[in-house]
Amino acid sequence: MVLKIGKGVVVEAPASSANVGPGFDVFAIAVEFPKDTVKISLKEEGGVRVFVEGIDSEKIPNVVDGNTAGVVAKKLVKDYNLPDNIEIRIVKGVPVGMGLGSSAASAAAVAYGINELFSLNLDRNSLVRYAAEGEVASAGKPHADNVSASLLGGFTLIRSYDPIDVLRFDVPENLGMCIASPKISYGQKKTEQFRAVIPKLIELDKLVHNVGHASALVAAILTRDLKLFARSLNDAVVEPARSKLIPGYDSVKKAALRTGALGVTISGAGPSMIAFYDSNIVNGDNLGEEMCSAFSREGYEATYICTKPGNGCRIVKYLF
Ligand code: HSE
């Protein structure tokens, strides 16, 4: 396929919070902000190239094979025999390591943008599969929860990984989300470290607990029942193991619940904590400040972002 040099697309891809309590590697919610903006265009020079600027860009590799977006682009080029003179310019809006699916947002934007640019007509599941390839570069495993939400928006659920089968549902507009993130350095490959502590085998009663809670959480979203959502936001398997790596986990949770949160859980792999609240009733900033104060009483400075459910990737500009 031959496309004109200079042709391209600019894609916006939202952040997301994965797992949503009992749905480890299965559930995620896209948020309205922050977002990444990614320009994908064709240049004279051959070879996929990636440039990163914006928030936390110094923490992101711009070597193609170490960058989630670069990995996705190379895989699509190979599988569809596309020209490789592709330049990817990422402007990061999604902070790194805040449990907001930063690497996934860039990966989703590239899968979405290349599909559009080369008119590949990939279906939703194929897009998710390609975008998830990028997660290997950051997490060591192609988990597809964050990329699903970034691509499709709303609440996403991975029914199956092999073959990939992703469902998407709207989220109640008044489901506010406040993500508080402590400044703790876990070094390189934080997600990989937070995955290493997860038990390899689980007891049957924990399976029963999680299947019950996960099913009820989906029902809560479909019926817009925030009280049921609150009761369902509980994970007996992954969260207890990961919480040990998060100083202040219990006190942050208590502080958020005291301030009116519906429920609190770890955002993605952590160490950020996410509090869900009814934005018609609770002031998100109060919640964020209380959560950060709780982290600081443990000796860790923290920052927060309050946001709401958002849409998936979209093209903001065509370059001709
Ligand atoms: N489901 C993944 C995990 C999300 O919990 O490791 C990482 O953002």
Atom of ligand 1 nearest to the CA of 194: 6
Cα-to-centroid distance, 18 and ligand 1 (Å): 6
pLDDT score, position 156: 98
Asked whether residue 20 carries a pLDDT value surpassing 70, the answer given is yes
Question: Of 161, 138, 175, 173, whose CA–CA distance to 268 is shortest?
Answer: 138
Question: 312 near 5, Cβ under 8 Å?
Answer: no
The residue nearest atom 1 of ligand 1, judged by CA position, is 25
**What DSSP character marks residue 95?**
P
pLDDT score, position 187: 75
Reduced to 3 states (helix: H, G, I; strand: E, B; else coil), residue 107 is helix
> What are the two backbone dihedrals, phi and then psi, of residue 87, each rounded to the nearest 5 degrees?
-110, 130
pLDDT score, position 104: 95
pLDDT-derived band at 3 (thresholds 50, 70, 90) equals: confident
> Which residues participate in catalysis according to the annotation?
135, 191
> What are the two backbone dihedrals, phi and then psi, of residue 270, each rounded to the nearest 5 degrees?
95, 180
pLDDT score, position 28: 98
CATH node for 175-307? 3.30.70.890
Encoding tokens for residue 213? 């809670």
**Amino acid in the structure at residue 28:** A
CA dist., res. 100 & res. 194, Å (int): 15
- In the chain, CATH 3.30.230.10 covers 8-169+310-319
pLDDT-derived band at 42 (thresholds 50, 70, 90) equals: very high
pLDDT-derived band at 1 (thresholds 50, 70, 90) equals: low
Task: Determine the angle formed by the axes of helices 284-297 and 249-258, rounding to 10 degrees.
Answer: 150
- pTM for this entry: 0.95
* pLDDT tens track for 138-197: 666 678 999 999 999 999 999 999 999 999 999 999 999 999 999 998 877 788 889 999
Answer whether 234 contacts ligand 1 (Cβ < 6 A).
no
Answer whether 13 contacts ligand 1 (Cβ < 6 A).
no
Answer whether 289 contacts ligand 1 (Cβ < 6 A).
no
Judge: domain 8-169+310-319, CATH 3.30.230.10: yes
Reduced to 3 states (helix: H, G, I; strand: E, B; else coil), residue 273 is strand
pLDDT score, position 139: 61
- In the chain, CATH 3.30.70.890 covers 175-307
Question: 261 near 277, Cβ under 8 Å?
Answer: yes
Asked whether residue 120 carries a pLDDT value surpassing 90, the answer given is yes
pLDDT score, position 288: 98
* pLDDT tens track for 223-266: 999 999 999 999 999 999 999 999 999 999 999 999 999 999 99
CA dist., res. 32 & res. 312, Å (int): 9
pLDDT score, position 161: 94
